[in-house]
Amino acid sequence: MHIHILGICGTFMGGIAAIAREAGHRVTGCDADVYPPMSTQLEKQGIDLIEGYSPEQIGLNPDVFVVGNVVSRGNLLMEEILGRNLPYISGPQWLSENVLRDKWVLAVAGTHGKTTTSSMLAWILSDAGMKPGFLIGGIPQNFGTSAQLGSNSPFFVIEADEYDTAFFDKRSKFVHYRPRTVILNNLEFDHADIFSDLAAIEHQFHQLVRIIPNNGLIVTNGRDESLQRVLAKGCWTPLEKVGIPDGWQASTREGGGISISYKDESQGILNWELMGDHNRMNALAALSAARHAGVPVRIGIESLARFKNVKRRMEVRGIVRGITVYDDFAHHPTAIHTTLQGLRDKVNGGRIVAVLEPRSNTMKMGTWKESLAGSLAAADRVFCYTDNLGWNAAESLQSLGSKISNHDSLEQLIAAIVETTYSGDHVLIMSNGSFGGIHEKLLEALAVA
């Protein structure tokens, strides 16, 4: 089968491309915004990429066009497909029908931590010799790829996004996956471009809960009130909760290591380098889900000790003149706060310079502008990139006082960071996009300063 993927450089659609190629299909694709790491991953796999959505691409004559949710009406190629009545399908539906149908699907859903938790779970299963397939919205460093087929394994781990499926299917992606094991990490309001309020998102999560079989398992954050409301609407599946005394817990031990317990019964000691309570919660959820798939907790803990984090999750991009530059995907006030707090715990009194690009649709709309300043409070200096924002960042962030500096020019932003950083500083760059290649540009500028 030849599939042509519209929006191929998104992490999800790029993952589908990799899986389809591994399954023996011919894969081509197009996108309007091609940048690493996904473009690099696709090129290594020999997948032909076309820049833009030219209608002439119908001349490729694929068996089906697989349409990403970045594509909307008015897209020139999509209009040609519709006008000629050519076959098309959404990415999640193609995946469901061609890959997941006979799999034990382990899905990870929630506002924060999906990518990291999915990566932990896939690694635990893989390290236990179970060779799972997976599709993750990032590149786990234990694997070096965001997706693999796992053709000889019954298990498939998927990052289950609540964003809508396609312009012709407004259901959340995750309802297509029919999982047996589900992790519900947390739930906050996000994606203001498609959801009117938190209740609308909770409704979609309820639709997911409704399709999980009674021989499955739901692993849920026992501290999260929104998830409790979702489950109160109806739950037909066994539950295990993390972060509460009657469930899974993790506590830091004197002298190092993290004590893992389930219902007050010790499960073992985890030794690793990941920072923050959020990662301990992620680890607990992954251990619980892996146990449901047959991996003893002791084995799971040993695997997590060898877990390497996902690219763009507190990833050190370089150290120049004693200045450490990190890359992180944080793009929601809660994630920003959690990431900064984790770094603060690591560096103690070291100076943290936060560099933020408010790039997500919700950020650009200004939905979080009132809470953004508070999420940045742990930083010693803050730089905000304000290009193409629909709200006044200087006004919204003024409570940060002399700590804040706003710039609508990338070059001026980099120059300002270079001018105000010193040996021993930790520069944390946060964006869910490429941020104009700021990481390498900043490292180069620091080297010649």
Q: Per residue of the chain (449 residues), give pLDDT as tens.
A: 999 999 998 889 999 999 999 999 999 999 997 766 667 778 888 898 999 999 999 999 999 999 999 999 999 999 999 999 999 999 999 999 999 999 999 999 998 889 999 999 999 999 999 999 999 988 888 898 889 999 789 999 999 998 899 999 999 999 999 999 999 998 987 776 778 888 999 999 999 999 999 999 999 999 999 999 999 999 999 999 999 999 999 998 877 789 999 999 999 999 987 878 888 999 999 999 999 999 999 999 999 999 987 777 778 899 999 999 999 887 788 888 888 988 888 888 899 999 999 888 777 777 778 888 889 988 999 999 998 888 888 888 889 899 999 999 999 999 999 999 999 999 999 998 788 889 999 999 999 87
414 phi, psi to nearest 5 deg: -60, -45
Q: What is the pLDDT of residues 35-51, one digit of tens each?
A: 666 677 788 888 989 99
Residue-level pLDDT at 112: 86
Q: What is the pLDDT of residues 348-374, one digit of tens each?
A: 889 999 999 988 877 777 777 888 888
Residue 319's alpha-carbon distances to 172, 441, 443, in angstroms, are 40, 13, 8
Structure-block tokens of residue 324: 């450490």
Catalogue the E-assigned strands of 192-345. Answer: 217-221, 239-242, 248-252, 258-262, 265-270, 315-320, 323-328
Residue-level pLDDT at 5: 97
Distance of CA 125 to the CA centre of its chain: 19
Residue-level pLDDT at 121: 98
CB atoms within 10 A of CB 381: 21
Structure-block tokens of residue 397: 């962030």
Half-sphere exposure of 213 (CA within 13 A, CB side): 10
By C-alpha distance, which of 71, 57, 55, 56 is closest to 28? 57
The whole-model pTM stands at 0.80
Question: Alpha-carbon distance 113 to 223, whole Å?
Answer: 15
Structure-block tokens of residue 376: 């940045």
CATH, range 315-448: 3.90.190.20
Question: Alpha-carbon distance 351 to 424, whole Å?
Answer: 7
CATH architecture of 102-304: 3-Layer(aba) Sandwich (3.40)
Q: What is the pLDDT of residues 223-268, one digit of tens each?
A: 999 999 999 999 999 999 999 999 999 998 877 789 999 999 999 9
Element (H, E) at 363: helix 361-365
CA angle 77, 80, 84 (to 5 degrees): 145
Residue pair 248/229 in contact (Cβ under 8 Å)? The answer is no
What is 2-90's CATH superfamily? Answer: NAD(P)-binding Rossmann-like Domain (3.40.50.720)
What is the residue extent of each domain of the chain?
2-90, 102-304, 315-448
- The angle, 0 to 180 degrees and rounded to 10, between the axes of the packed helices 198-210 and 225-232 is 50
